[in-house]
Structure 1
């Protein structure tokens, strides 16, 4: 469900589950973490593209996969480690020394948008809709993803995206700085590859040192502030509102939330 291809010095990671709109499972996230860690040490890779097959980049976490994990009677300590996988994926993607570009089409929400913000650049297809839908099923945004989002668009716009869970048009968030370019859908992959090839053609040592320095400045406090978001998720999944949200999601109706 995750593929890795090479185009010259550009590595292309593809989410390859189009029949499920690239919904993310734990197995897929584990593969992305391993691939990202491997690419970091490859001298033949000068740039990386993250993309999705099909009409959508990704609709985020696979709800059935998440429910299966929550139903697992494993000790809480093990469940906590499992819940921290998303944050490890973010660290792996942000830890790639080479410049990274994410190509977004269709819907990109939840964990998919988290991964997009872990990349250095984001290109979006015309008509793409981007957001964070976690609040709609009664959970917080985790994966240590708030820091990168706030760094890109500021606190007020981050609150709007995360607190409402709305999918916003690519043209709107382009004006906010969340995406760097909006291009016709038919040109998205070619434009992402062209930008990656341009970056790959520059002196790699200088490019990679610049990236690391900018990330160090932008995310200096992230680890200290966001370390507990997996614990918040574990708490949220025990709430009555979470249970109601999942039922409402399956029944395609608005939830009736009590605050419990």
Structure 2
């Protein structure tokens, strides 16, 4: 299957999925999110691939949800049930990647923002170049953090740091992200993919059924309460994004009037 924004390279035992929307920031439009969901689902029956690397370009992973995507405005018009259904696209994408039996490795260069960070946290391992940073701008933009990502963040860094990262919306550079446990490895800039390939080759050399069963056991232990604690986060998003703060904050973000929101 061909994609507009993704390329898939298959090697012996592992694959590399590259996101390149061609906009310089890899903003997650609804079309791109559908492609990311589809490519994950395509790997479900792939018994030859034991590890999957997910990466952006050499300079950017993703700036997060595309706030300018005309298809993505779920707050104007339409029946409430249709608007609520439309909000499934982000969590469905992250869930598709998290459910994969293959080991998933996210290689990050540049910035990894909002929904891009949520997608990275749905992968098993994260690698970042030393100048890369992660950030969640949702709360400063009058939104809650959704896409079932809060338990994944808490699992990685603990509740106190999860609150710092999620609520303040400040940049978390790669060195601090490594110290916190948000990423697993830090490399020289431009070398995140090389490290990801090194890990993927190690995984690919292992008995695949043992890898898959081990991942499933660990995930079931770690994620047992995830759905129970986040099943309403898209409803919370609908509520928070209906406030008067939301359009004002998004407008300031899109027009870069607030220096806090600039630079990814």
1:112 equivalent to 2:104? Answer no
| Equivalent in 153, 174, 184 of residue 188 of structure 2 | 184
Q: Counterpart of 2:262?
A: none
Cα deviation, 1:164-223, whole Å, max 9, x if unaligned, reads 111111000101111111001232211111111110110111111110111111111011
| Equivalent in 17, 23, 42 of residue 21 of structure 2 | 17
Cα deviation, 1:123-166, whole Å, max 9, x if unaligned, reads 01011111211112110110000011100100000000000111
| Equivalent in 143, 147, 150 of residue 147 of structure 2 | 143
> How far did 1:247 drift?
2.0
Q: Distance in 2 between matches of 1:67 and 1:137?
A: 19
Q: Distance in 1 between matches of 2:15 and 2:206?
A: 16
Bigger mean CA deviation after superposition, 217-226 or 6-15: 6-15
Q: Counterpart of 1:228?
A: 232
Q: Distance in 1 between matches of 2:254 and 2:115?
A: 20
Q: Distance in 2 between matches of 1:174 and 1:53?
A: 21
Q: Distance in 2 between matches of 1:181 and 1:246?
A: 33
Please list every run of 5 or more consecutive structure 2 residues that lacks an aligned counterpart in the other structure.
260-264
Cα deviation, 1:24-69, whole Å, max 9, x if unaligned, reads 0111111111111110211111110000014111110111016852
Q: Distance in 1 between matches of 2:33 and 2:252?
A: 26
Rate the CA distance shift 1:119–1:140 in 2: closer, same or farther, 3 A.
same
Q: Counterpart of 2:167?
A: 163
Bigger mean CA deviation after superposition, 196-205 or 182-191: 182-191
Q: Counterpart of 1:258?
A: none
Runs (4+) of structure 1 moved beyond 6 Å?
A: none
Aligned residues: 255
Q: TM-score, normalised by structure 1?
A: 0.94
More helix by share: 1
Please list every run of 5 or more consecutive structure 1 residues that lacks an aligned counterpart in the other structure.
256-260
